[in-house]
Amino acid sequence: MMRVAVALFLLGLIAACGPKQLAPDAEFTCDRCDDWNLPQQPFRVYGNTWYVGTAGLSSILVESDSGLLLFDGGLPQSAALIDANIRSLGFDPMKISAIFVSHAHFDHAGGVAALQRLTGATVYSSVEGVKTLSSGRLPPDDPQYAEKNENGFAAISNVVAVQDGDVLNVDGVSVEAVYTPGHTPGGTSWTWESCALDACYKVVYADSLTSVSADGYFFGAGPAANQLIESADRISLLDCDILLSPHPFFFGMQDKLEKVDAGNPFVNNVACAIYADVALGWLQQRLNAERQKPIEINVD
C-alpha cells in the first residue's frame, strides 16, 4: 500500500511539473532586432522541410524518420517564437536531435543555447564555427568583430565540428556541410533532399554572403573578399532546387508566400546561382567604396 501511495505521489509531482519549458537567455538589442524578431506564421516549404523562424531570421525544421532537425536559432529572444512555431505545427520540440548552425553571429546562433537546453540536441558547425559557438565570442578575424565584443551570445555546449564535404545521416536525413566562409570565418551552407509524392528536390540552406562588417574593417585588406568570391562560386554550382538562407528576405520569402496559390514558388533551380551573383555585386560595390575612402557600414 505504501509503494502505491509513493508511486501516486511521484506521478502527481511529475504531472504538476508539466512539459519541459524553454528558458530563454538575455535578449540582445540592435537597430534591426525588433523588426527581425517579428512573428512569422510557420509554413511548409516542401516535403519534410518547414519554415519556423521569425519574419527576419530563418529557422528551418526538417522531419526525419524518428525525430526533427533544426537549422539556426535566431536571436536569444527568437528561441521562444521558434519553439511556439514548432508546436503550432503539431511537432514536439523535444524530438529535435540536431541543430545545425550556418554561422556564429548573435542573430542566428543567439537562440541556439536555449533551444539546446530545451531539447538536448547536438549542435553541428564548421571547425571555426565550433570555436566561436563554444565561447560565445567572435574571433578577431571575423569582419564583425569589435574590440568591445558587443556581439557576443550565450556559449553553447556539446558542439560537434563537421568537416567540409562531410555528410551526416541524422535519423534518416542526409545533411551535407559545404564550407562557405567570408561573411564569417566559419560560415557553412547545408544541403539535404526533400521529397513529396514522386518528386524529390535538393534544398540548399545557403549561408550569408554579405560583405558587412564592424566599423574600420576592410574586406580588401584581408582574406574575406577572396573567401566570399570562392564561397559564392561554390553555392552557384551546388545541386540546388530550393534556396533558403539565414535571412528570409535573401530568398524572397514574403513575395513567394504571396504566390503559393499558383504552385510552389520556392522551387527554382537557378535560385542559388542568382543568390551568388547578387552577393558578388554587393562585394564589388563594397570594394569600390573601400578604394575611395574609409566607410561605415552597419553590422548585419
Annotated active-site residue in 205, 217, 241, 275: 217
Annotated active-site residue in 164, 166, 171, 247: 247
Annotated active-site residue in 25, 108, 205, 275: 108
Q: Is 183 a catalytic residue?
A: yes
Annotated active-site residue in 103, 145, 179, 205: 103
Beta strand spans in the chain (E): 43-46, 49-51, 60-63, 68-71, 96-100, 122-125, 159-161, 167-170, 173-179, 188-196, 199-205, 242-244
Q: Is 108 a catalytic residue?
A: yes
With 0-12 / 13-18 / 19 or more C-beta atoms within 10 angstroms meaning exposed / middle / buried, residue 240 is buried
Annotated active-site residue in 72, 105, 145, 201: 105
Are the beta carbons of 109 and 228 closer than 8 angstroms? no
Q: Is 103 a catalytic residue?
A: yes
Are the beta carbons of 59 and 73 closer than 8 angstroms? yes
- Helix (DSSP H) and strand (DSSP E) numbers for the chain: 9, 12
**Cα–Cα dist 192/212, whole Å:** 28
Annotated active-site residue in 107, 142, 207, 241: 107
Per DSSP, the three-state class of 194 is: strand
Q: Is 142 a catalytic residue?
A: no
Q: How far is CA 195 from CA 1, 20, 36, 192, in A?
A: 54, 32, 30, 10
Are the beta carbons of 37 and 81 closer than 8 angstroms? yes
Closest CA to 159 of 132, 188, 179, 130: 130
Q: Is 46 a catalytic residue?
A: no
Are the beta carbons of 171 and 65 closer than 8 angstroms? yes
**Cα–Cα dist 68/52, whole Å:** 12
**Cα–Cα dist 105/109, whole Å:** 6
Annotated active-site residue in 183, 201, 241, 275: 183
**Would you name the residues annotated as active-site residues?**
103, 105, 107-108, 183, 217, 247
